[in-house]
Chains A and B, each alone.
Chain A
């Protein structure tokens, strides 16, 4: 047996190599660089790597636009137009998300647990916090996840697809569990994400096995050939395709594989939620588009009913359930489910313009998502200061507040049984905030909060806490309103152009009922986006939707000052949202010019 050394074209791999290489270097940095300078080094490395990836994509652009792209590593990676667009989108969004991740705000604390391994609420954790420890591993983890996201949509064979899925998922499971506040909620989310993610991975792997059994190959192109030529094994083929699609639909958060989304989005540290919601979705939809357009076309008569069902259910569930949420992160999570449904209408269209539409939509949605979660990470709640504790504003007051944040979540978690802190909201109609968020105030007793004098706690995620934000922080609230309008698809924002593009593609592909459902769902969805805007601008603080008795105990919201990173990211997202809404022409043209998938 002879082994021929494969010819590897390194240049087209540059974006992936830069990101993964930097991730590996990041691990070494953790090991060898002194703790004091670790954070700046890691941050610089991460930002440089992501920016480098964007530059590398730009350098590749002209060649790919001319030649239509190349397959590298014997077809494991297909560097074609859509790949480049997805790489650029992922890298840019990841860059912006990392800026939010890096921001420690005026409180001097980032969004991550000082010591991930510490038991929530334990003395060890408090000691770690007091020592100023921080988990700078976050940055290499983000880079690994991003690397996986780059490979995921670019690959042309199922095995690489699976590997990429794991590379992108595992760091995310970990990152989800690292929240500084509401640690139990965070760990619970991480656990759920891991369990359900593994389940989905297993489905995907099973599907891959069946498809391999059907076609004798893992390459998309060869499977597509086999679909045309091999007869008599439809069972394998259909079951296999369905399972592979299920694995991918899990990642995009489509119904019925969506149930992890709200819990995980809520539990994860908010900057990581932004990264997940934007970049993971980009990568997963990229992979889904490739599978759909290269493998499935000949199966469309069989799979179309499934995809239609999924798309309609996703839009409907995302929209309808978002209407009854009271937690801002859960609203955004359900909104992201609804958006997955909108993008699916473009994917299901199975026409050329569908690819362009999906790619554009992902960029538009991603920009607004990173920005929106960036803003959520800045809106915090203040603990109450007990009348007796005059000097309590300092470190002394922070300790009990922090500890109780953990312990209350614990109490509620076990009290609800099966550790379902997040479930408390959905089951009982009590905001999750009740479960964990305003814990500091809850634990301090029944006294109503003294106006905004206490220490800054976790994020103020209950919608009622966002009431009147437009009056106290007009710029921030206006920017948030911009993102919401983009989500709602109001003209002159990027979201409108994206929706217009996917729905036109759906109509062009003969899926006009999907477009109709999409438009109706958008109209209904606009309701809860606008409701938040009304809440921010036209409701006085504490005048928001009152739901329960715990209203009195919920502390008011305060906006912390960013260190600058998050502001840059949010401003960039806002600029992108407006630019893609007002002048979408150049971007649409550029994307349409290269939106040709390699077989």
Chain B
């Protein structure tokens, strides 16, 4: 088996499984979830085989373009659909299929009581297929197909319980926010087509090297791609959908809205490195967006009482780190992806842990109603705890290896731009780490430590927290092992070197502060955050209703007024605009159109009177026509 025959299977197998599950309908209810799990696992096995194949090659031959078929051919524009298997895409493939398979397994138990479990697995498979297409595509256009595919799957899964209106609304919100980003990608595509006459990665890169695009064009392209990334990865200012997206079943939050889909924006930026290399301004904007989101998410995370929303805010903030790193250029690409992988593990693990807690607590999500759960759910406590240590960046857990590198890179003076950038972004990343430590510890302590704050239901039903079944705990354990050790393993195994064929080799740059100092200060910030959280949420009692809090807390609870701003700036004017457009359309456009239609029909009525049915008249028409035509030919001659 070689790469050419294996790679298409990655997309085809989950897609076929999704099709089978959707087409067979209820007939596959009994075994559908196992088929879904099997398809996902099969994709992982294929990915692993590809990894072995690629590792067996010298580093400069690890990029294979698999031609699938000629897709679009119009004039000068030829596009073939193909898959690009290289270290970057394969990293994503393994992350998506490995974490994806674990989450499939988890869902078998988590969704066991849901009547529509088969449909859920069909959507999950659809998501896996689309995500793999996204990362394997060898052109922006095919990437766009995957991009839309994951958007669709995400929409379907957020609104999986769409009989509850708020959930359906959340799904719609995610979809709309994504559309704004997609528009950016589409325009970027058109811009590429106009500039380079092609949209595959190789041609775009070659075109930029060949000087086909001005810096202004590249900047526009970069900003549009950033817009796309912002939509998909919930970055400022398009981040508002992610919190609401937690309406979906928890495995979905773990897979799509923590580990994989939301990181697609980071992938896009890293994949578009040639564009951003040629557009320093766009690159700077990427860094700024990352920095803003990082702090933004962290602040929101401190105020949320809903365990899933707190995790979502944390995801937003962590992706902010990745985007920040990706904006730093080649210095940061490898670390962005590194952090993406470790984050995929520990954040998925924590979401599954949260799901396990909810499972044991009758779907309660308010952390103020938890407390002291560590005695009742030991496995969940330990696994979530490992994830917590990882995200805090405590050595030697996963997060330390990746996040610390990002903070160090942020402190490096960039090639273009002044020293102030290193200080600013470095400081933001460092402070972010401290806040992260505070809100993640808050989540952890409020849930597992302190006193019981469980409440009865309306019908007096007392929650009986219990450990989840093995099908759920096994994936959590596996992910927890990854949270603990993956960072070190990848670091020792030379993960950044493995990515070098894609991200480029970079000489080591010294940060403005010695590395040791940065590490110590970061750790200090983390410890301070942790200690504050311990004092506030473990030793002191936690009020069951949230105190009013400071102005900042109140603002953070409502996502720093992002929704209000969106409403005021976009939704209301948009509504007025559509209303006036509809009015204009009804009166002017429709009126003109109807008039035209009436006129045409009138002419038609007239002409059809010629069609009398008399053969003699038909013959006369022919003769007359012939005479007219002859006149047309001969008259100019005379």
The interface of chain A, by Cβ under 8 A from chain B, is 191-192, 195-196, 199-200, 203, 234-235, 238-239, 242-243, 246, 250, 255-257, 259-260, 262-263, 302-303, 305-306, 309-310, 317, 320-325, 416, 418, 420-424, 426-427, 429, 524, 527, 583, 585-586, 588-589
Q: Is the CB of B633 within 8 A of A302?
A: yes
In the complex, besides A256-B621, A424-B613, A427-B612, 8 extra interface pairs with C-beta distance below 8 angstroms are A256-B628, A260-B618, A303-B633, A324-B608, A423-B611, A423-B613, A524-B600, A583-B69
Question: Which residues on the B side are within 8 Å of A427 (C-beta)?
Answer: 609, 612-613
Residue contacts A-B, CB under 8 angstroms, 13 given: A192-B618, A195-B619, A196-B618, A196-B622, A242-B629, A259-B610, A309-B632, A323-B604, A324-B601, A324-B608, A421-B613, A427-B612, A586-B70
A196 touches B611 (CB 8 A): no
Residues of A within 8 A of B610 (CB): 259
Q: Are B611 and A259 in contact (CB under 8 A)?
A: yes
Residues of B within 8 A of A250 (CB): 622
Query: Is the CB–CB distance between B632 and A320 below 8 Å?
Result: no
Asked if B609 and A259 sit within 8 Å, CB to CB, the answer is no
Contact B613–A263 (Cβ < 8 Å): yes
> How many angstroms between the C-alpha atoms of A424 and B613 in the bound complex?
8
- Report the minimum CB–CB distance from B590 to chain A (whole Å): 14
A527 to B600, CA, bound (A): 11
CA A322 to CA B608, docked complex, whole Å: 9
Do A321 and B611 have beta carbons less than 8 Å apart? Answer: yes
Tell me the residues in window 594-638 of chain B with beta carbons closer than 8 Å to chain A beta carbons: 597, 600-601, 603-605, 607-615, 617-619, 621-622, 624-626, 628-630, 632-634, 636-637
Q: Are A309 and B622 in contact (CB under 8 A)?
A: no
Residue B73 lies at the interface, judged by CB distance under 8 Å to chain A = yes
Cα(A320)–Cα(B629), bound, Å = 21
Find chain A residues with CB under 8 A from B72 CB. 585
Once the chains are docked, how many angstroms separate the CA of A589 from the CA of B74? 11
Cross-chain contact of B612 among A239, A421, A426, A583 (Cβ < 8 A): A426
Q: For B609, list chain A residues within 8 Å (CB).
A: 426-427
Q: Which residues of A contact B615 (CB under 8 A)?
A: 191-192, 195-196
Q: Return chain B residues, CB-CB under 8 Å to A322.
A: 604
Of chain B, the residue at the smallest CB distance from A305 is B632
Instruction: Compute how far the CA of A263 lies from the CA of B613 in the bound complex, rounded to whole angstroms.
Output: 7
Knowing A242-B629, A306-B632, A309-B629, the reply to whether A256 touches B624 (Cβ < 8 A) is yes
CA distance A396 to B597 in the complex (A): 48
| Inter-subunit contact A234/B637 (CB<8 Å) | yes
Structural contact, B597 and A527, CB atoms closer than 8 A = yes
B69 neighbours in A (Cβ, 8 Å): 583
| Nearest-CB residue, chain A, relative to B73 | A585
| Contact across chains for A423 and B614 when beta carbons are under 8 A apart | yes
- Expressed in whole angstroms, the minimum distance between the Cβ of B129 and any Cβ of chain A is 19
Closest to A324 in B: B604
10 smallest beta-carbon distances between A and B, as pairs: A423-B613, A256-B625, A420-B613, A259-B618, A324-B604, A426-B611, A320-B604, A192-B615, A585-B73, A323-B604
Which one of A195, A239, A322, A323 has the greatest number of beta carbons of chain B within 10 Å? A323
Identify which of B73, B611, B621, B630 contacts A242 (C-beta below 8 A). Answer: B630
Kindly state the separation between the CA atoms of A265 and B607 in the bound complex, as whole angstroms.
18
Bound together, the chains give a CA A424 to CA B610 distance in angstroms of: 12
How far in angstroms is the closest Cβ of chain B from A78? Answer: 27
Q: In angstroms, how far is the closest chain A Cβ from the Cβ of B38?
A: 30
Please name the residue on chain A nearest to B74 by beta carbon. Answer: A500
CB proximity of A259 to chain B, nearest CB, Å: 4
Q: Would A320 and B618 count as touching, CB distance under 8 A? A: no
Nearest CB of chain A from residue B627's CB, rounded to whole Å: 10
Bound Cα distance A418, B614 (Å): 7
B626 to chain A: which residues have CB within 8 Å? 203, 242-243, 246, 256
With contacts A305-B632, A420-B613, A427-B613 taken as known, whether A320 is within 8 angstroms of B607 at the C-beta atoms is yes
- C-alpha spacing A259/B629, complex, angstroms: 16
Report A231 CB to chain B, min CB distance, Å: 14
- Inter-subunit contact A199/B633 (CB<8 Å): no
* Chain B CB within 10 A, most for which of A235, A260, A321, A421: A321
Which of A310, A321, A421, A588 contacts B604, CB < 8 Å? A321
- Per-residue CB proximity of B44-78 to A under 8 Å, as 1/0? 00000000000000000000000001101100000
B600 & A416 in contact (Cβ 8 Å cutoff): no
- Cβ contact within 8 Å between B613 and A422: yes
Query: Quick one: closest A residue to B597, CB to CB?
Result: A527
When distances are taken between beta carbons in the complex, the residues of chain B under 8 Å from A199 are 619, 622
Measured in the bound complex, the distance between the Cα atoms of B106 and A106 in whole Å is 53
- The distance in angstroms between the C-alpha atoms of A324 and B605, with both chains bound, is 6
| Max chain A Cβ within 10 angstroms of own Cβ: one of B70, B608, B619, B636 | B608
B residues less than 8 Å from A583 (CB atoms) = 69
Q: Which residues of B contact A309 (CB under 8 A)?
A: 629, 632
Pair B632/A323 contact, Cβ less than 8 Å: no
Separation of A550 and B249 alpha carbons in the complex (Å):
59
A586 cross-chain contacts in B, Cβ below 8 A: 70
Partner of A306, one of B70, B611, B614, B633: B633
**A256 close to B633 (CB less than 8 A):** no
In the bound complex, how far is the Cα of B601 from the Cα of A524, in angstroms? 10
Would you call B607 and A321 a contact (CB within 8 A)?
yes
Q: How far is the CA of A195 from the CA of B622 in the complex (A)?
A: 12
Q: How far is the CB of B610 from chain A (nearest CB, A)?
A: 8
Q: Which residues of B contact A234 (CB under 8 A)?
A: 637
Bound-state CA distance A427–B72 (Å) is 48
Q: Which residue of A lies closest to B607 (CB)?
A: A321
List the A residue with the shortest CB-CB distance to B611. Answer: A426
User: Can you name the residue of chain A whose Cβ is closest to the Cβ of B618?
Assistant: A259
**B-chain residues with CB within 8 Å of residue A416 when the two chains form the complex:** 613
Interfacial residues of chain B within 451-501, with CB under 8 A of chain A in the complex: none
List, in ascending order, chain A residues with CB within 8 A of B613's CB: 263, 416, 418, 420-424, 426-427
**CB-based contact B608/A196 at 8 Å:** no
Contacts of B625 in A (CB 8 A): 255-257
- Once the chains are docked, how many angstroms separate the CA of A426 from the CA of B604? 11
With A423-B614, A527-B597 known to touch, is A259 a contact of B622 (CB < 8 Å)? Answer: yes
Of the listed residues A196, A234, A320, A422, the one surrounded by the most CB atoms of chain B closer than 10 A to its CB is A320
Q: What's the Cα separation between A550 and B621 when bound, in Å?
A: 32
Smallest distance from the beta carbon of B143 to chain A beta carbons, Å?
20
User: How far apart are B79's CB and chain A's nearest CB, in angstroms?
Assistant: 10
Specify the chain B residue showing the minimal Cβ separation from A323: B604
A556 to B131 CA separation, bound complex (whole angstroms): 50
Residues of A within 8 A of B628 (CB): 256
B593 to chain A, nearest CB (A): 10
Complex formed: what's the CA distance from A422 to B617 in Å? 14
Contact: A246 with B629, CB < 8 Å? yes
Say how far B209's CB is from chain A's closest CB, in angstroms.
Answer: 29
Chain A residues near B601 (CB, 8 Å)?
323-324
Which chain B residue lies CB-closest to A524?
B600
Question: Are the C-beta atoms of A323 and B600 separated by less than 8 Å?
Answer: yes
Query: Once bound together, how far apart are the Cα atoms of A257 and B627, in whole Å?
Result: 12
Chain B nearest Cβ from A252, distance in angstroms:
14
**Once the chains bind, are B605 and A305 in contact (CB under 8 Å)?**
no
Taken together as a complex, chains A and B put the C-alpha atoms of A199 and B619 apart, in Å, by 8
Among A239, A257, A426, which residue has its beta carbon within 8 angstroms of that of B608?
A426
**Cα(A305)–Cα(B600), bound, Å:** 25
> Are the CB atoms of A262 and B611 closer together than 8 Å?
yes
B637 contact set on A, CB distance < 8 A: 234, 238, 302
Nearest residue, chain A, Cβ from B620: A259
Q: Give Cα distance in the complex from A256 to B608, angstroms.
A: 13
Residues of B with C-beta under 8 A to A324:
601, 604-605, 608
Do residues A321 and B608 form an inter-chain contact, with CB atoms below 8 A? yes
Q: Which of chain B's residues have a CB closer than 8 A to the CB of A246?
A: 622, 626, 629
A423 CB, nearest partner CB in chain B, Å: 2
**In the complex, how many angstroms separate the beta carbon of B591 from the nearest chain A beta carbon?**
16
A259: chain B residues at CB < 8 Å are 610-611, 617-618, 621-622
* A235–B638 CA distance with the chains assembled, in angstroms: 11
Residue in B603, B622, B636 whose beta carbon sits within 8 Å of that of A257 in the complex = B622
In the complex, what distance in Å separates the CA atom of A195 from the CA atom of B617?
12
Residues of A within 8 A of B597 (CB): 527
Determine the distance from Cα of A195 to Cα of B70 in the docked complex, in whole angstroms.
Answer: 50
